[in-house]
Amino acid sequence: MLFNSLEYAILLALVFFGYYALARLKLLRLSLLLVASYVFYSWWSAYYLVLIIGSSTADYLVAKKLFAARTPRARKAWVVVSVTANLTLLGTFKYFNFFVSSLDAGLASLGLGGLGVHLNVVVPVGISFYTFESLSYIIDIYRGKLEPAQSPLEFLVFIAFFPHLVAGPIIRPYDFLPQLRPVPSLSLEAGGRGLFLICVGLVKKAVIADLLAVNLVDRVFELPSRYTSVELLAGVYGYAFQIYCDFSAYSDIAIGSALLLGLRLPVNFEHPYRAASLQDFWRRWHISLSSWLRDYLYISLGGSRGGTLRTYRNLALTMLLGGLWHGASWTFVVWGALHGLGLAAGRALEDLRGASSPRAPRSLALQLLFVLLTFHYVCLGWIFFRAPTFERAWEVIRGIGALSGGAANVSPLLWGVLAAGLATHLLPPALLAALERALTRLPAPAQAAVVLAVVLGIRWAGTSAVVPFIYFQF
C-alpha cells in the first residue's frame, strides 16, 4: 500500500475517525492502530505479517526478562539473545544469498567449487527499519534509559505503527511509547500542519521524484553509453534530487499522518544539500538513521574514545556497516566506504586545524565552494548507490569524464523538474513556514478543499507511472 494511493487515503481516513471516536478507550484505540498497521503491512504479503508479529513478540518477552534480571551476566545474556535473534533474522532474509554468492565468486576465482546454496526468499519490506527499532528498545533497557512498555499492545504498536513502518523515520521507544498513553487530542494547528506535510510530500514524490525517475534517471543508469557527459551528469544530479524528494516525501507523509493522530515522529531531513561538509550532511540527511548509527553502533565501537586512529576507524566502520544496512550489494558497501572515509578525512582535517581554536567565519564565496564540493562528493557516492553493478557505475563515471557535450535527451521539462528539485533546498524556510501557517489558520473544510486541490493538481502534473518509494527496498 503506497502512501500516494487511494487505498492509503481511505485507510488513514478510517483510522482517523475511529481513533478519535475511541480516544478515551485506550485498549480499543491502540487495538485499532495495531490492526490498521497490520492491514497496511500485509498489503504486500501476509508472510511479512507473521514475521513482524513473531519477532516483535519475542523482543517484548526478552525485554521483560532483561529488566527483571538481577546480575550483569544475566542482563548481558538477554541482550545477546535479542541481538543474535534480530541479526540472524535480518541476515537470513536480507544477506544470506549475498554473502553466499560472494563466497562462491571468491572460491571460483581460486578455481574451487562454490557452495551452490541459495534461499528462495523475498526480503520483507521494511525489515531493516523495524529491526533497528526493536534493537534500540532492548539496548535502551539494558543501558537503564528505559523501562519496558506497560503492555504488549503498546510495544506492538511502537514497532508496527503504519506511517513509519516501511521506511521510517526510525523512532526511539522513549520518545514514542509515552505518547500512546494519554487521551489523544487534535488542534486545528496540528491538523493543518499534518495536512501541509502530506501535501508537500505528495508534490515532492509525484511531481519531482517520479518524473525524474521515469524520464531521466532510470534511462541514464540503464544504458549510460547512449548519453553524453552532460546528460549523464544531469542523470546523476537527477538521482540526487530524486532520492531526496522521494525519501523526504515519505518522511513528510509519515510525520503528517502521525500528527493527524496526535502523535509526533522525529524530523528526518533538514536541507541536506546545503551542507558544507560531509559531517554536516549526515546531520541533515536521514537524521533518524544517522543518530541511530551514532548512538548504537559508533558509540558501541568505542566512539571517539581510545585515540585518534580508533576514532577514524570507528567512523569508517560505522558508515561501512551503514552502507551494508541499505542493501545486500557491494555497491552499497562502496557507498558506505566513501562516506566513512570522507567523514574520517574531515575529522582529520579538523584535528589538524585544532577543533577548539577560534577561527574566522567563512566568506560567502568560500562557504558556497564547500557546499558545492560536499554536494559533488555525495553525488559520487550516489552513482554507486544507484547503479546495479560496479560495471554500470564505472560506465557512468567514465562517460562523465569523456566531457562530451549536447543534451538532446534532456527536455526543457526535465531541466525545469531539476530546477524544482534544487528549489526544495533554496526556498527560504520562512516562505514554507508562511504557507504552513496560512493552511493551519483555515477552518477544517477549507483545509480539506486545499488538500483536494493539491491532489487534483498532482494528477495533472505528475507522471502516470507507479514508482515505489526508493527506501521500500531497504
Write down the catalytic residue from 118, 164, 286, 326: 326
- My answer on whether 94 and 206 are in the same domain is no
In a domain, 344, yes or no: no
- My answer on whether 373 and 262 are in the same domain is yes
pLDDT digits (tens, 9 = 90+) for 48-91: 898 999 999 999 999 999 999 999 999 999 999 999 999 998 88
Range from 236-240, 313-317, 359-363, 387-391 carrying the lowest mean pLDDT: 359-363
Q: What is the pLDDT of residue 114?
A: 66
- My answer on whether 196 and 172 are in the same domain is no
Share above pLDDT 70 across residues of the chain, in percent, rounded to a whole number:
96
Q: Which of 167, 185, 203 is the last residue of a domain?
A: 185
Average pLDDT over residues 274-279: 94
**Total of domains in the chain:** 2
Average pLDDT over residues 244-271: 94
- My answer on whether 269 and 396 are in the same domain is yes
- Alpha-carbon torsion (262, 264, 270, 272), positive or negative: negative
- My answer on whether 52 and 35 are in the same domain is yes
pLDDT tier, 457 (very low <50, low <70, confident <90, very high otherwise)? confident
Q: What is the pLDDT of residue 31?
A: 97
In a domain, 25, yes or no: yes
pLDDT digits (tens, 9 = 90+) for 348-375: 888 777 655 556 677 888 999 999 999 9
Active site residue 164: no
In a domain, 416, yes or no: yes
Q: What is the pLDDT of residue 440?
A: 83
Q: Report the helix count and the strand count for the chain, using DSSP H and E.
A: 22, 0
Rounded to two decimals, the pTM is 0.91
- My answer on whether 263 and 166 are in the same domain is no
Q: Which of 170, 185, 200 is the last residue of a domain?
A: 185
Secondary structure (3-state) at 207? helix
For residue 134, give its domain range: 6-185
CA distance 152 to 57: 8
- My answer on whether 55 and 132 are in the same domain is yes
The secondary structure of residue 271, as a DSSP letter, is: -
In a domain, 270, yes or no: yes
The 3-state DSSP composition of the chain as helix, strand, coil percent (nearest 5) reads 75, 0, 25
Q: Tell me the C-alpha to C-alpha distance, in Å, between residue 402 and each of 226, 233, 301, 346, 391.
A: 13, 11, 42, 29, 16
- My answer on whether 132 and 194 are in the same domain is no
In a domain, 125, yes or no: yes
Cα angle: 113, vertex 117, 121; to 5 degrees:
155
Average pLDDT over residues 398-417: 92
Q: What is the pLDDT of residue 409?
A: 92
Average pLDDT for the chain? 89
Query: How many Cβ atoms are within 10 Å of 270's Cβ, its own excluded?
Result: 14
- My answer on whether 245 and 389 are in the same domain is yes
In a domain, 341, yes or no: no
